[in-house]
Structure formats: C-alpha cells, structure tokens
Amino acid sequence: KNQVEQSPQSLIILEGKNCTLQCNYTVSPFSNLRWYKQDTGRGPVSLTIMTFSENTKSNGRYTATLDADTKQSSLHITASQLSDSASYICVVSGHPGTASKLTFGTGTRLQVTL
C-alpha cells in the first residue's frame, strides 16, 4: 500500500528558532511531492510542490528538499513565528499528469511558543 510517513508527530519550538520536519514515502510511481500547512479548523494550504527532477524549493521562510532516490523529503522552517503553529502535511502524488489523487501523511503538529 502506498504510504507517506512523517516525523516527528509533534514538535514544540521557541519563536525565532529553526526546525526541520521529515517525510518518507513509498508511493510508486511518483509524480510530485507537496507540503501543506493546515491551521486548526481550516483546509490545507499549499507551501511547495516538487517534481522528480527538483531537489529543493523555497517559499519565504519555508524550504523543502526532495531526494527521489531515497524517497525522502524535508521541510525546513527558518526563524519561526507564532503564526507557524499548525500541522504540516507531506503529500505525494503517484500519478503523472494533472489533478491526480494524493496520498497524505498524518502530519507534524508544530507549536511555536514565546
């Protein structure tokens, strides 16, 4: 069964610190990998999308990496802010082309504190 596993399950960091979230997947074939941010009570919002040929992509203070050989991805958050408190979900698309169904990880719940 295609799976997406994330670690850690939850994380608490001080405001201003950096953190890295991990994602391992077994989805095959592989089309693209996405990181979403989901605030409590809201739908997920896309942060980055990476295809097979991309190994890093940044969106402001968020930087995602992808190693398609080892099937691993990470999301690095720099200079965290209180508003970064949310669940971060790694999502893999196993089908080429557009609008394909996605396999979601269970997410890492991040809490940024003062």
Partner 1 sequence: GAGVSQSPRYKVAKRGQDVALRCDPISGHVSLFWYQQALGQGPEFLTYFQNEAQLDKSGLPSDRFFAERPEGSVSTLKIQRTQQEDSAVYLCASSLCYEQYFGPGTRLTVT
Among 11, 13, 49, 68, the residue binding partner 1 under the rule CB under 8 A is: 49
Give the CA distances from residue 111 to residues 36, 80, 89, 94, 114, in Å, rounded to whole numbers and listed in that order: 16, 10, 14, 30, 10
Site for partner 1 contains 35 (CB under 8 A):
no
Report how far Cα 93 is from the mean position of its chain's Cα atoms.
13
Tokens of 90: 């790694």
- Residue 64 in contact with partner 1, rule: CB under 8 A: no
Contact call for residue 12 and partner 1 (CB under 8 A):
no
48 binds partner 1 (CB under 8 A): no
DSSP assignment of 16-39, as one string? T--EEEEEEE--SS--EEEEEEE-
Binding partner 1 (rule: CB under 8 A), the pick from 28, 53, 101, 114 is: 101
CB of 92 to partner 1, least distance (A): 11
For the CB of residue 18, give the shortest distance to partner 1 in the complex, in Å.
24
